[in-house]
Structure 1
């Protein structure tokens, strides 16, 4: 027995076409045909919930009791359906039997004819009582049906909208990550760098990198501590203003705390190097015309020719490089070219040690 074939039998008995059903429940004609042929119940790719909804909508057009339809669907899924939808109808005489009927006619005077149907037997109606009136055509189905096509479009539109918002959110997150990486790139890379790079430190074995290195007279810097004498007892600190040479040397002094790190860029190679400096240490840095310094400005002093450069953060900060920029023109001023003071000009005192970290 097939539930779909029983629905088709009932539809035909009510003089309804497949198009009448389609117009009432708004589902494709192929789907209605698959219900009547029973193939929709065997299709594993079709959602069972949709199948039950389609069949119940179809049955409402035929004005069948919904509980009977649900019971018939349960029997179809269990494989036990045996025509209960037709058997439970209110007017079985309106339907044509869904299986072959065998009729044995006998003499009306001796016995009544009997109709044998598969699984049950009923008495055939007497010829004299058979209605000769044709049934009235149905005035058409009346049902508040579900527009499945429209519902599918709504789900499709909602899904596209969700994908658009997910893509926009993803692009925003990528933009924020890229912007943050660009802004804090120096800080990020410094985490993975060593405190100092061995290949850029002094390689001359005759020099002790950690020892205090006096500033040579022919360079542009002079030691920050008092007078220095050569082997003949002559003073190495000039008594007259100096002249800037081809190489300039500036001292970064961790006077008020640890520099962790200070980043220095020399125009000799324009490479930014991080240097970790303990409090009291000073480092010499060579350059030709431009030196960039970035770090904890409140903890450091900049020294040239024994003189403290006043307020470098306020006077020489360059926003384009986000650093203090010391140039040859800054140092080529009388107060920095004058002979260095005999004593350190600040109460903090001179550096405990001064080293060359990079020489060119």
Structure 2
């Protein structure tokens, strides 16, 4: 589906959710007080489903929609299904049918002339010509008798050159392509804790040698004491984004140089590459700021501490 179809589906989904909210007599102020989501962000969501907003990304939007659905008093699963349809540009009015009792909208008619025959392209003409039988080449004398002359193999040389050029281009793209920041992964709390290495360093007993950090560091945020709604996290140079984590769940982030955590820090536990990290070490703004150098120094200090 084209971008225009996706944008229209997103707007239709947002409009239907707004009408459902009003039917259930829930104001935006009520939603704001319950979820702590900014009013401006809620208003923008009900216009375009954040499709044109700087915070738009599928992972964040799924979490946002789940929280919004719970706040207006409807089940989250059909709303999430409708969101997936909107991502594909195929949302019609399924939520309005289910929650407002409206009739389903008809499927769009195919555009006139969409199946009309088009004049053959130059490439199609060339293929048709190539399928036509060619007259046999003349016979020539050879040491073993008469042999048929071979056709020139210039097309093989041309095809080989194109294949080599494509291979070189793909290789350069792979080497020079920008590496996107991977989306956070939701994990059950038991899985997150179990994934820690057997040689976890603690203040009570540390291994003799501190681990050396690799190119990528994994931070696991566990909502251990209460629901986190939301915690705000900035990974490296990415934007600061909010994340909602149910109590007992966790979310995993990967960074290379720095991670910053804000809001509800008393309700979380934090693992870095599987090693527990204290959440009471905060800067003047009340944030947890962890750099690669700070983490390595922290692990080194634990390794030097007496058993």
TM interval, shorter chain, is 0.3 to 0.5
Structure having the larger proportion of residues in helix: 2
Structure 2 length-normalised TM: 0.34
